[in-house]
A = this chain, B = another copy of it.
Amino acid sequence: MTTMDTRTGRDGWAAGTRVYVENRRGRLPAYTITEELVREALRDAPQPLTLTVRYADEPDFAALAEAEFFMGSGFDTRRLADHAPRLRIVHCTSAGVDQYLPLDWLPAGAVLTNSSGIHAEKGGEFGLLALLMLNDRIPEHATNQRRHRWHRTLSSPIRGKTVLIHGVGALGGAIAEKAKLLGLQVLGTRRSGAPHPYVDRMHGPGDLRRLLPEADFLVVSCPVTAETRGSIGAAEIALLRPEAGLVNVSRASVVDYAALADALRGGRLAGAVLDVFEQEPLPPEAPWWDVPNLLVIPHVSSDNPEDYVRRSVALLAENIGHLVAGRPLRNVVDPVRGY
């Protein structure tokens, strides 16, 4: 990201700022990127601001051809490759970028940035909720409620129990912070193995299998990459204790859901809280709805409707400022690591 063209430099952005924003129809209002929000965030960017806000099914190809900055979610990478040669930053409102990989479609000189970090407050809180739900056997109680069955399973307090966070990034770190509030022991894995202030013991991904038997709760919060896809399979699930529970706030493909369902049906795992599925919306005929002790969450764990778009736009605005000033950008997706 050090390539500069004639319009950028340390002395400022000479020719204004050309931004193309794409919304998708049918999403909740909280996800709409409005012109007003973008103008507010970019009030300090080089002027004039040329802003195009379009639905994905009504593209403005002329504006795309001139755009230096693109922002959207679930966008058509082919369209950007073919029609947006001047792009410098393609910013996605999600943290996960698996659907955009490999990055061979990126126009020359452009980078993909994600919104990692904006989900941390809400997602950390949801992680705490999921841990408490697993500790208090809420997936089991919900299953029994479906069956009109009164069955009392008592739980001791969560203090002192062990959570293993598979993939300590912005989201996993926020979950670790909340877990420490309630006195859990926090184990973590991440690629670097580097320490984290809220993780008592950090390990590299290679230690995962050794750590699984220690966990009362396994939180899956890694990005999905070639390394992490399928990393929680039947063998890993078998290493968890029968009283343990699993939370997935990453991507479905990291966990073998068929093996997970088998373990839950067989009583070899106490509960699961899943916020992500291969196919979303999850269709009515999907098997996961009826798996005992499995709680289906409709991919809402980490999105705060009050500031989701505002914070994502702010990240783009910050990076435009960095680009103009010749500083390094934040949240640039590494094409090799894939996150």
Contacts and interface: CB of A to CB of B under 8 A. Distances in A.
A137 B280 CA distance: 19
B132 A128 contact: yes
A152 B298 contact: yes
A214 interface: no
A181 interface: yes
A154 B289 contact: no
Contacts of A199: none
A201 interface: no
A156 B306 contact: yes
B298 A150 contact: yes
The interface centre, meaning the residue of A28, A30, A128 with most chain B CB atoms within 10 A of its CB, is A128
Given A146-B146, A295-B145, A296-B141, A304 B154 contact: yes
Interface in A140-184: 141-142, 144-146, 148-159, 181-182
Contacts of A121: 157, 159
Contacts of A281: 150
Given A122-B157, A154-B305, A305-B154, A298 B129 contact: no
A327 to B, nearest CB: 30
29 contacts: A28-B152, A30-B154, A122-B156, A126-B136, A129-B129, A129-B133, A129-B138, A133-B133, A136-B301, A138-B295, A141-B295, A141-B297, A141-B300, A142-B142, A142-B145, A142-B295, A144-B298, A145-B295, A146-B146, A149-B284, A150-B283, A152-B298, A152-B299, A152-B300, A154-B304, A155-B300, A155-B304, A157-B304, A181-B182
Interface of A: 28, 30, 121-122, 125-126, 128-129, 132-133, 136-138, 141-142, 144-146, 148-159, 181-182, 280-286, 289, 295-301, 303-306
Given A28-B152, A129-B138, A181-B182, 18 more contacts: A28-B154, A122-B155, A125-B182, A126-B136, A128-B132, A129-B132, A132-B132, A141-B296, A141-B300, A145-B289, A145-B295, A146-B146, A148-B284, A150-B282, A150-B283, A153-B298, A155-B305, A157-B304
Top-10 shortest CB links A-B = A150-B281, A129-B132, A154-B305, A148-B284, A142-B142, A156-B306, A145-B296, A152-B298, A148-B289, A150-B282
